[in-house]
């Protein structure tokens, strides 16, 4: 079994690999799913959820929470893992084990009317991207209407993880245009820039300069060269928060299906990898290959700090006068 961590670096990696192994176990048990995005984006999602995201697992509808949208909804095990680990009652371990099964709270694509903690139902690519822009417009309007000096009633962010497929869709182009025009500084999107689609390399159909496109639309764009570099991810999100007059896109260069035997290829994008590939992936991650749906106690303890922190955030907001 994975040894107990003794440093912050160790607990960070243990938490990230827990997301990855929960994902691959759930996909394999369901005999379907998309492990590629969750395994590649686990580090970025971990940094976002543990260091930046304002949320209260015990009150998923707290008004001034940040909104998190998984626009690449096919990678749903990423958000289900995060909801479970941070203490949302809607996603128990039993629900993780029933991923993609009828009647579970863990359907193949996130559904906001099924699972508490899911903000937006996503499946059609580009939809979550555009929904987030709508949420940001609403938040900006409410802030302009109700906020006063020393009374930040509405000051939340709209975060999303989007994929190559999201950015290929027309609806993302259109919504990105209005977001830039309106200067929606409450938008921070993390782009899973892995150069792979289900068909193969993105170069088959997608060769535009994404940075130039978004900069032309009035966005702040930055790049994290290594999707496993936690410090660089944290710095990029912090920098985006400092940009108040533009929406932000962070290009996170990842390896799809990180740790899988076929990582970095379209074979890691979707479908169950097979039992032996699951075992090899766990070996590559330094995990016990015989452990299934395993969460170390120290991982639960670290992630569940979100419960106390979220309650504190809501209490402070309720005391605004």
For 207-235, how does the pLDDT look when each residue is reduced to its tens digit (9 = 90+)?
A: 999 999 999 999 999 999 999 999 999 99
- Give the pLDDT confidence score for residue 3 in this predicted structure: 45
Q: Is the pLDDT assigned to residue 243 strictly greater than 80?
A: yes
Q: In whole angstroms, give the CA distance from residue 101 to residue 316.
A: 39
pLDDT attached to residue 7? 81
Tell me: pLDDT of 161 over 70: yes
Q: What percent of the chain has pLDDT over 90?
A: 96
Average pLDDT over residues 192-198: 95
Q: Please report the pLDDT score of residue 149 as a whole number.
A: 93
Q: What pLDDT is attached to residue 205? A: 93
Residue 176's pLDDT band (cuts 50, 70, 90): very high
Q: What is the pLDDT of residue 8?
A: 85
Measured CA to CA, the distance from residue 82 to residue 95 in angstroms comes to: 13
Mean pLDDT of 107-136: 98
Q: What is the pLDDT of residues 49-58, one digit of tens each?
A: 999 999 999 9
The percentage of the chain sitting over the pLDDT mark of 70, rounded to a whole number, equals 98
Annotated domain spans of the chain: 8-318
**Does position 1 have pLDDT exceeding 50, yes or no?**
no
Q: Which residue has the higher pLDDT, 2 or 8?
A: 8
- Distances from the Cα of 198 to the Cαs of 40, 148, 201, 267, in angstroms? 15, 48, 8, 8
Q: What local confidence, expressed as pLDDT, does residue 9 receive?
A: 78
Question: What confidence score (pLDDT) does residue 2 get?
Answer: 44
CA dist 175 and 157 (Å) reads: 17
Give the pLDDT of residue 4. 45
Helix (H) or strand (E) holding 70: strand 67-70
Section 54-79 average pLDDT: 98
Whether the predicted model's global pTM rises above the 0.85 cut: yes
The confidence score (pLDDT) of residue 238 equals 98
Cα separations in angstroms, 146 against 76, 149, 153, 203? 35, 10, 7, 47
237/230 Cα distance (integer angstroms): 11
pLDDT band with cut points at 50, 70 and 90 for residue 12: very high
pLDDT at position 276 is 98
Mean pLDDT of 231-257: 98
Instruction: Report the mean per-residue pLDDT for the chain.
Output: 96
CATH topology of domain 8-318: Rossmann fold (3.40.50)
Q: Helical H runs in the chain?
A: 8-30, 36-51, 77-86, 93-97, 127-146, 164-168, 170-182, 210-216, 230-242, 275-284, 297-303, 305-318
């Amino acid at each position: 079994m994975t040894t107990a961590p003794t440093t912050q670096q160790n607990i960070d990696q243990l938490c990230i690999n827990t997301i990855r192994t929960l994902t691959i176990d759930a996909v394999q048990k369901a005999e379907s799913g998309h492990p590629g995005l969750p395994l590649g984006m686990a580090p970025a999602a971990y940094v976002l959820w543990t260091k930046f995201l304002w949320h209260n697992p015990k009150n998923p509808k707290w008004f001034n929470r940040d909104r998190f949208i998984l626009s690449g909804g096919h990678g749903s095990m990423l958000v289900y893992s995060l909801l479970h680990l941070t203490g949302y009652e809607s996603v128990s371990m039993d629900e993780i084990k029933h991923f993609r099964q009828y009647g579970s709270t863990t359907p193949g694509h996130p559904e906001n009317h099924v699972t508490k903690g899911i903000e937006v139902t996503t499946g059609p690519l580009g939809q979550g991207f555009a929904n987030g822009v709508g949420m940001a417009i609403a938040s900006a309007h409410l802030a302009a209407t109700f906020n006063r000096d020393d009374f930040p009633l509405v000051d939340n962010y709209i975060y999303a993880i989007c994929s190559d497929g999201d950015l290929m869709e027309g609806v993302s182009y259109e919504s990105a245009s209005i977001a830039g025009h309106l200067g929606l500084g409450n938008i921070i999107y993390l782009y899973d820039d892995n150069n792979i689609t289900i068909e193969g390399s993105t170069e088959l159909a997608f060769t535009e300069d994404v940075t130039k496109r978004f900069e032309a639309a009035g966005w702040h764009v930055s790049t994290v060269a290594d999707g496993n570099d936690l410090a660089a991810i944290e710095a990029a999100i912090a920098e985006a928060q400092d940009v108040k007059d533009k929406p932000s896109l962070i290009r996170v260069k990842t390896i799809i299906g990180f740790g899988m035997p076929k990582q970095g290829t379209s074979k890691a994008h979707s479908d169950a990898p097979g039992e032996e590939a699951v075992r090899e992936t766990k070996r590559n991650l330094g995990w016990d290959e015989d452990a299934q749906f395993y969460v170390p106690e120290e991982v639960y303890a670290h992630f569940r700090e979100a419960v106390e922190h979220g309650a504190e955030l809501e209490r402070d907001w309720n005391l605004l006068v």
